[in-house]
Structure 1
Amino acid sequence: MDTYLNGELDDLTRSQIQKLIKDQNVLVNGQPVSKTGQKVVANDKITVNIPEEEPIKAVPENIPIEVVYEDQDVIVVNKPQGMVVHPAAGHPDKTLVNAILYHCQINDDDVIRPGIVHRIDKDTSGLLMIAKNNLAKQSLMKQLKDKSNLREYLAIVHGNFKEKKGKITAPLGRSKFDRKKQAVVEDGRHAVTHFEVLEQFEDYSLLKLKLETGRTHQIRVHMQYIGHPVAGDPLYGPKNTLPGKGQFLHAQTLGFEHPRTHEWMQFSIEPPKIFQDTLKQLRSQH
């Protein structure tokens, strides 16, 4: 039953479906099912009752954050590896948003993602810009849409390159084989990533990557697509990789036009210690 429903209900995970079955929210021919292993038979009438989720609301939490820049309109922070950006199912608290709300006032009606205009993955470190009011939010979102801002990343990836620079243009969408993953798909959303090879080691390379678009997992999927997955990536990379706590991907440089003054603002931040130590080790081995 759980396998069948997992293939039919795209919006639910396998564990969520199993919980629905255990809570007797799945009926077969009017009778509740209590076992996930119940066989599905032809002509069964299956009814799934999905209870309304309790709304998640971000609340202030006293969590230390590294503020790189702040004024009345925007705040730029260095998000550590391992921190989720905003509350969601499975991550109701201890997120960057919880920390930001404790640190300062955010005037935004969005109770789950106040001030958030873009995201970086949980295990990606680096710079994130956050709007403190509607003026800033509209301006920063428009810049993202118009591709007029700057977002550059550092990544350690598998393999070596013959070329020094490259451009990856490949549409991205949800994988048809694993709903937790994104993939290059024909009917996906337009996605472009530029890369430059900074250093090469034995079996690994250090890249600077520039986002032209900002799709979910874009760099990670694009690098896997060209045969150079990000080292340490648990979702898109090989198991035999560099030891660490997730992908070696760091949002190093962020640039945007200030929403109020229209001045160009640009910030850069060094990657975390584990990233720098791994680079030193690769250099010494090479």
Structure 2
Amino acid sequence: MEQSKTRKISKIYRALVNGILNQDKIIIKQPIGTMRYPGVAKGLQKPALSKVEVLERDSQLNQTLVQVEIESGRPHQIRIHLSFIGHPLLGDPLYDVGGQPMCFDSEHEDESFAEDGGYERPAKPVPGDCGYYLHAHQLVLSHPTKNEVIKITAPLPSILRTQAETEELM
């Protein structure tokens, strides 16, 4: 009998968060979103896992540079998970401490909310241009037929580099 291959895809991001994370490594398993199933009135929460590793702490600016690895990929997963642990992305206009949308209140009319998360729609939405510091840095996957590991790396913007990485470029 032929053994089945397990394909693993790992997505690694860099992020700059508010506050100082005390732990060097954190695993966040907070479920995100809801999947609807027949016979399950309210649906079931979708599992999500984020592995956070501190790269640098800047106590003067009260911010931490982190690397986040995810194997799944729920909409807004990293933003929600980091805010859930009390460290939202620096400049994130949407998620506040606790993983909840900042503008969630009863004054808004239904048509002002997006369908995928219950938060207020931005006036001029542009994907990736929301004012927060999150960058898809690496993608690691196994080739489907050659049994080789493929690693794709996107250059980091200067604000998401460690001091050592910045010095290497000089």
Task: State the TM bucket, normalised to the shorter chain.
Answer: 0.5 to 0.7
Percent identity at matched positions? 33
Instruction: Specify every segment of 5 or more residues in structure 1 that has no aligned partner in the other structure, as ranges.
Output: 1-138, 175-185
Is the CA contact (8 Å cut-off) linking 1:231 and 1:237 kept in structure 2? Answer: no
Instruction: Specify the alignment match of 2:82 in structure 1.
Output: 223
Q: TM-score, normalised by structure 2?
A: 0.61
Greater relative contact order structure (CA < 8 Å, 6+ sep)? 2
Corresponding residue of 2:91: 232
2:16–2:160: 8 Å Cα contact kept in structure 1? no
Unaligned runs of 5+ in 2: 35-42, 103-128
- CA distance, structure 2, for counterparts of residue 223 and residue 158 of structure 1: 9
Match of 1:247 among 108, 132, 135: 132
| C-alpha deviation, 1:261, in angstroms | 2.4
Please state which structure has a larger fraction of its residues in strand.
Answer: 2
Distance apart, 1:246 and its partner CA: 2.1
Once residues 230 and 218 of structure 1 are traced to their aligned partners in structure 2, the CA distance between those partners, rounded to angstroms, is 12
- Give the conservation status (yes or no) of the 8 Å contact 1:171–1:187: no
TM-score normalised to structure 1 length: 0.38
More helix as a share of residues: 1
Deviation at 1:269, TM superposition (A): 2.2
Distance 1:172 1:247, change over 3 A: same
1:191 alignment partner, one of 27, 48, 58? 48
Query: 1:270 Cα deviation (Å)?
Result: 2.1
Is 2:28 the partner of 1:168?
yes
Displacement after TM superposition at 1:260 (Å) = 3.4
Radius of gyration: which is bigger? Answer: 1
Number of the residue aligned with 1:92? none
Report deviation, 1:267. 1.9
Displacement, 1:199? 0.4
Could you tell me whether the CA contact under 8 Å between 2:65 and 2:160 is conserved in 1? no
In structure 2, C-alpha distance between the alignment counterparts of 1:276 and 1:208, rounded to whole Å: 10
Q: How many residues end up aligned between the 2 structures?
A: 120
Structure 2 CA distance for partners of 1:210 and 1:276, relative to 1, 3 Å: closer
SS of the residue aligned with 1:188?
strand
The AA in structure 2 aligned to 1:266 is: K
The 3 A distance-change label for structure 1 pair 276 and 162 is closer
Query: Deviations 1:217-254 (Å, cap 9, x if unpaired)?
Result: 10000011111001121211489xxxx85220011111
Q: CA deviation at 1:163?
A: 1.0
Preserved contact between residue 194 and residue 212 of structure 1 (Cα < 8 Å): no
Question: 1:264 maps to what in 2?
Answer: 149
Residue deviations 1:127-151 (CA, integer Å, cap 9, x gap):
xxxxxxxxxxxx9xx84xxxx1121
Q: State how far apart, in whole Å, the 1-side matches of 2:54 and 2:157 are.
A: 20
Moved over 2 A (4+): 259-262
State whether residues 15 and 160 of structure 2, in contact with CA within 8 Å, keep that contact through their aligned partners in structure 1: no
SS at match of 2:46: coil
- Between the aligned partners of 1:168 and 1:276, the Cα distance in structure 2 is 21
